[in-house]
Structure 1
């Protein structure tokens, strides 16, 4: 039977929804591994067949955008007019109907199980580790998961791009806690990242300039295995407070990267690929050369310490097919690796650059743009 509309031909739909309904939709879609646009499509299809739906309170609603198949959207608008309900109310009822028909598949994980640890690393700079780690952390937090985002790069780009100040070199810092040179609790350094649907679920551990000294101090320490375990020991008091800890690593193959890789290893009793490393890359040869070096470092650590480190996948960043053969053939090569897989391809667009310029999180500045949707795709794939 022929579908009454072409699912590949979609129209943008903008409605005003209350924040709680919007958050509930994003959480449920993430739990079920479903794209938000597909969830809303299913809701609208069910809404068109339903009768006597309860009114949804849409007061205080803010902008929400998604895409519906073009033919379906036209039928929805006709039905809304016939039922004498506003488009906002119709979309809200459709989402509520979908939520009620698709209950959460599992209870929330109990506290005490510890955080899943996602490391973003690549020896090459300029590949977008900071933008991708920040965007994915926002997307994880947007689905209700308590997420800690750590700026582990002494350059502090993540901290500054989000509009926060780096910790002063004389202050307590993550590096000082790793070296047991700090007083007080590490949790006192966390700052909440405000805005968007992730508010109250996302925190930042800012960078400090003293992180430039970390590799040298780790290299000269005489304590057994502190080089690899220092980050884990410093973060241990925080792990039970979060569902995810996301680490934006420096473009380095030094000891600090070893500590991050060890922190992201698969622990005893932990499911395979629950934690691990995500590698942001570009569609060009220098990224492949840098990945080879990172891969060797990972394998050396695995063999030296008898551990498992999951390579969760690549994120091909700033991709533009208009750059021609170099870009398209490089993307083909990343896809051909197979294991680890390409998790997503981030298109070269202005959204992220603008977000950095105005010092706002991407999912606040352009929450419904293509780049934001890719960040949600990565978050969904690594949290499955």
Structure 2
């Protein structure tokens, strides 16, 4: 039978839903590797066939948006009228039907290595390492994962964009802990990132200006291996407290980047592609040149220390096909590499710039925007 609507022709729908139902939907969709709009579509279709459904408590609901096929959206409104229920109640019941028919998969056995470690690296500045790492961290936390986001760039853009102050030059910091120059526990420096459906699941380790000195101090260290292992040793005590640790790396090919690459290597007993590097790029030639140099660094470190460093994929950021042949042909080249794959294409939109301007996380400022949905897609793909 032919569907009475074109699934490729979708329109935005907005409803008021309680926070717990929204969160349950996002977590379950992430667990099952399904787009939220597809989950809601399946729920609406099942709801239309179902009879005598219990009401869902929608009191205290806040805005929820998704996309339904245009024809299905119209049928849903007609059915709500026929059943004498509100449109909000119809959407809520549809989501409840989908959740009840798609139980959470069995939890995976605990990993012996603790947190999965994902770094975001590219020595070219301005490609969006900060925005992508922050957005993916928010999406992972929104799905119920305890997530730590680390600002490893001495410029501190991530810290400032989220509305926090950089650590003082004389304060304890990640760099000082890496060099065994700090007192106290590194966990004392973590701050919670509040807002959205990720609250109580996301923390930030802020940057400190002293990180500018890190490469020089690592270079003069007497320990042969401290250059590579320093970040891992500093973060070791935090790993059992988190499901994911994400690192926003500096635009550098120096010793700091070596420590980050070593940190995201595949450890003994760890499944392939559990940890690794995500590479944000732009659809233009300079990103390709920068990737060539990063690739060489990864290969050299892997060979010198006999490591397996998984390149999880590219994220083509700030893409706009209206820029013409340079953008479209460059995108084709990224996609034609094959391995590592292109995880997602982030469109050039105002949402991220506005979020930075108002110092809010992207998934708080524009939770149902296209860029936020892409961040959820990346999170789903690297956590599969």
Aligned to 2:55: 55
Aligned to 1:163: 163
Listed one character per residue, the Cα deviations across residues 97-149 of structure 1 (whole Å, up to 9, x for unaligned) are 10010001122654865000000000100000000000000000000000000
C-alpha deviation, 1:2, in angstroms: 1.6
Aligned to 2:104: 104
Aligned to 1:6: 6
Aligned to 1:319: 319
Runs of 4+ in 1 over 3 A off after TM superposition: 108-113
* Aligned mates of 1:325, 1:256 — CA distance in 2: 36
* Aligned mates of 2:140, 2:351 — CA distance in 1: 19
- Report the number of matched residues: 384
- In 2, are the aligned partners of 1:139 and 1:379 still within 8 Å (CA)? yes
Query: What is the TM-score with the length of structure 1 in the denominator?
Result: 0.99
Q: Helix, strand or coil: the match of 1:163? A: coil
Q: Helix, strand or coil: the match of 1:72? A: helix
Change (3 A) 1:182 1:19: same
Aligned to 1:211: 211
* Aligned mates of 1:109, 1:284 — CA distance in 2: 42
Is 1:197 paired with 2:197?
Answer: yes
- In 2, are the aligned partners of 1:111 and 1:240 still within 8 Å (CA)? no
Q: Which moved more, 1:110-119 or 1:159-168?
A: 110-119
Aligned to 2:75: 75
Q: Helix, strand or coil: the match of 2:15? A: strand
Change (3 A) 1:27 1:284: same
Aligned to 2:337: 337
Q: Helix, strand or coil: the match of 1:346? A: strand
Q: Helix, strand or coil: the match of 1:63? A: strand
Is 1:286 paired with 2:282?
Answer: no
* Aligned mates of 2:239, 2:18 — CA distance in 1: 32
* Aligned mates of 2:143, 2:354 — CA distance in 1: 24
Change (3 A) 1:306 1:113: closer
- In 1, are the aligned partners of 2:118 and 2:275 still within 8 Å (CA)? yes
- Unaligned 5+ segments in structure 1 are none
Aligned to 1:306: 306
Is 1:33 paired with 2:38?
Answer: no
Q: RMSD across aligned C-alpha pairs, in angstroms?
A: 0.9
